[in-house]
Amino acid sequence: MIPGTPNIKMSATNCQDYLFKLDIVKQALDIFVNEYSEEFQISKSKTWSLLRDLKIEFSAIPKTVGAAHDISGKLIVGKVPVSGLAMNKDLIWVEVRTSQLWSSALIHEIIHAIIWRKNIVHGDPDHEGSNFSGWTKRHTKLIERVNKILLDTEI
């Protein structure tokens, strides 16, 4: 469990996979909560409640899926490599490629989880596309901003 969060847990796919330090993930979550709350004009406590009981699985093992959408909503079919997946509203999977959290898909997948929790039935898999609701350009810009902050703070 990540201390100071509403029961957010993290694990590694395999015990030998790289796992970020708890305090680093907590710092990243704090930054995300601050930025999300400000961007969408909701309280930090409401943002934390949207993350309650989230499970984050980190893995050094790459994944492919049979189909995925790019950020504009275009469907890509075949063996599509992914760097993160929202498995359901309570579980996200994030590939670890470096020791820095900003370069991972963590923030992107957290957005999917929040949208899933709000929409109940999906996490808006087509992002800015028109087939599913929830994701906007504001979400995309928020991810870029948070990842830049994480980079600047060397997280």
Q: What is the pLDDT of residues 28-78, one digit of tens each?
A: 999 999 999 999 999 999 999 999 999 999 999 999 999 999 999 999 999
Question: What pLDDT does 113 receive?
Answer: 98
Amino acid at position 127, single letter: H
How far apart CA 28 and CA 155 sit, in angstroms, is 7
Q: Which run of H or E residues covers position 17?
A: none
pTM metric for this prediction: 0.96
Domain boundaries, the chain: 9-152
Q: Taking all residues of the chain, what is their mean pLDDT, rounded to a whole number? A: 96
State the Cα–Cα distance between residues 125 and 151, nearest whole angstrom: 26
The pair phi, psi for residue 106, each rounded to 5°, is -55, -55
Q: What is the pLDDT of residue 88?
A: 97
Query: Residue 91 — pLDDT band, cuts 50, 70, 90?
Result: very high
3-state secondary structure of 2: coil
Q: How much is the pLDDT for 16?
A: 76
Note the pLDDT of residue 18.
Answer: 81
Q: What strands, in cross-sheet order, belong to the sheet with 84-88?
A: 9-12, 55-59, 91-95, 84-88
| pLDDT value at 135 more than 90 | yes
- How much is the pLDDT for 60? 92
Strands 91-95 and 55-59 come out as parallel
